[in-house]
Chain A
């Protein structure tokens, strides 16, 4: 008797094809995680045609090239002949790449959903407006972290392996924490500003141009007020381009480029930009009429 004929045979052919699902559902946290991940993939051009990968790859490469060059120099040239930049100084080499990346990411994350109706699709899932925005904000912050956190951490690792990094594990961890805090602060401020611009227009290009204009115009205005009109140094605080990076100097205990401006004021203005930007986004989305 073959095994197929055995009366004890309990094997079954599992039904294939569409079946009911009776397992656990991940609820709102799972929905946020999924939307965040999908938005990050989309922004970086992953799973999309090659043309969508070009700009993200170039921006990320520009942010990392100086780090790689400095590490190379540190390894190849004896210590003391060429000094690499400090961690806050490093941002000076990649500021433009970070700002341009911020101008690209938030519009890509927010605008298409409103234009093509995906927002209504997302709101027909466990997400509501608030949780949807949290998912999108996380996507922008984490994606920006690629250029605000990654390169300084790479520099730290390079210096460490070269023997010119922080002394001792404690100091090393302190530097790492400062790098993370700096990256999150810069990402947060730029995320808020770029998301605010992106929620005011349904055109990605306009949003991106708006971010760039705000970021480029405010240093000129601040310079004119302080250097031209000889107003108080505190007018530097309106400089959206410089203040997130000035905060990085202060996090590392460095007086930075504007020592006449107090650290409290620098922290305050960055908080104000961040909270203000997110408030604009929340206000705008609370007023959107979404049907279908």
Chain B
């Protein structure tokens, strides 16, 4: 599959900071999450993707082109939603989106039409003639998304698009991002430090930590089923030992059990056996089952484990 972004040995060295350290990336079409804590190198990678910075060494190709060589041609095909508040307060949303669509090369009439269309798409159709300075944080984030898609790009880069949004607004924004990819075929790279939202909407993930690649690959491989079951029981006041009895029976049968309150994670046996065991144990202990599901490894787990591995390997190498 042709990569949207491909890098080899990508290094970005600032005077006092190594922002990216020998990254080899292959980002395929779809929605890709770029995750990592603050200072992980996400924004530097975004800047390199757009050609705002030139790499210290290594190569980067975006849509098959080198941003340093084919910058103007490439940037006309990329939409960019920055993290920073870059909206001029006294401009109307429509004027802002239309202007940037024109700068991206759309004819004036087309830019006007598409500015309105994209603002409708993000749910700001009725608000499009309001000054940006009078809009809420959620509305301004939507305006940034609208301007990123207005010029009909092949690929959009969104830097922390849910920053400052409440849970409802965040859900709406994530739904729009998925819609942009699914309905309009625009590939998306979403930079975020909120792993949960990346897990929810992304097909692929790239995890960075202090400029190093921690993990990359399809989301279902990185954060899919991991073996084992997750059980949640109801605490019953007249049978306080019920949960403990379930744990004991599972351990006796050879499962490895990790309990946190009323939540139990059982591993160490084939999943089918574990499901049967849990059913028998709950019945014999007269416990009450609230939830029983295959255990899923979260992106958080992967991120933490891999970051620890990288640190351990480095510590070993320096000894």
Contacts and interface: CB of A to CB of B under 8 A. Distances in A.
A28 B152 CA distance: 17
B120 A17 contact: yes
A91 B91 CA distance: 35
B121 A18 contact: yes
A21 B86 contact: no
Interface residues of A, number: 38
Interface string B105-131: 111001000100110110000000001
Given A120-B52, A126-B75, A34 B103 contact: yes
A292 B46 contact: yes
B100 A121 contact: yes
Contacts of A214: none
Contact of B86 (A35, A48, A120, A131): A120
A124 B78 CA distance: 8
B232 interface: no
B245 interface: no
Given A117-B84, A120-B86, A126-B104, A21 B151 contact: yes
B90 A52 contact: yes
B17 to A, nearest CB: 12
Contacts of B53: 289-291
Interface string A280-292: 0000000001111
B72 A292 contact: no
B76 interface: yes
A194 B51 CA distance: 29
Nearest to A28: B72
A116 B105 contact: no
Contacts of A291: 43-44, 47, 52-53
Given A17-B120, A20-B185, A117-B82, A126 B76 contact: yes
B188 interface: no
A130 B90 CA distance: 27
A25 B43 contact: no
Contacts of B51: 123, 128
A17 B107 CA distance: 18
B193 interface: no
Contacts of A124: 50, 52, 75, 78, 80, 82
Nearest to B82: A292
Nearest to A135: B103
B144 to A, nearest CB: 9
B287 interface: no
A149 B103 CA distance: 28
A125 B85 contact: no
Contacts of A47: 91-92, 95
Contacts of A78: none
Interface in B210-226: none
B260 to A, nearest CB: 40
Contact of B47 (A21, A117, A292): A292
B102 A30 contact: yes
A168 interface: no
Nearest to B53: A291
B86 A121 contact: yes
A27 B76 contact: yes
A27 B151 CA distance: 12
Interface string B70-104: 01110110101011111110111001000110111
Given A27-B72, A291-B47, A121 B105 contact: no
Interface in A76-132: 112, 116-118, 120-128, 131
A26 B88 contact: no
6 contacts: A18-B114, A18-B121, A19-B117, A21-B114, A116-B86, A291-B52
Interface of B: 14, 43-44, 46-47, 50-53, 71-73, 75-76, 78, 80, 82-88, 90-92, 95, 99-100, 102-107, 110, 114, 117-118, 120-121, 131, 149, 151-152, 159, 184-185
Given A27-B105, A117-B84, A128-B72, 19 more contacts: A17-B117, A17-B120, A21-B110, A23-B110, A25-B106, A26-B105, A27-B76, A31-B105, A48-B90, A48-B91, A112-B88, A116-B87, A117-B82, A121-B80, A121-B82, A126-B76, A127-B103, A128-B51, A290-B47
Interface of A: 17-21, 23-28, 30-31, 34-35, 38, 47-49, 52, 112, 116-118, 120-128, 131, 289-292
For the complex of A and B, the 5 pairs showing the least CB-CB separation, nearest first, are A25-B105, A21-B152, A117-B86, A126-B72, A124-B80
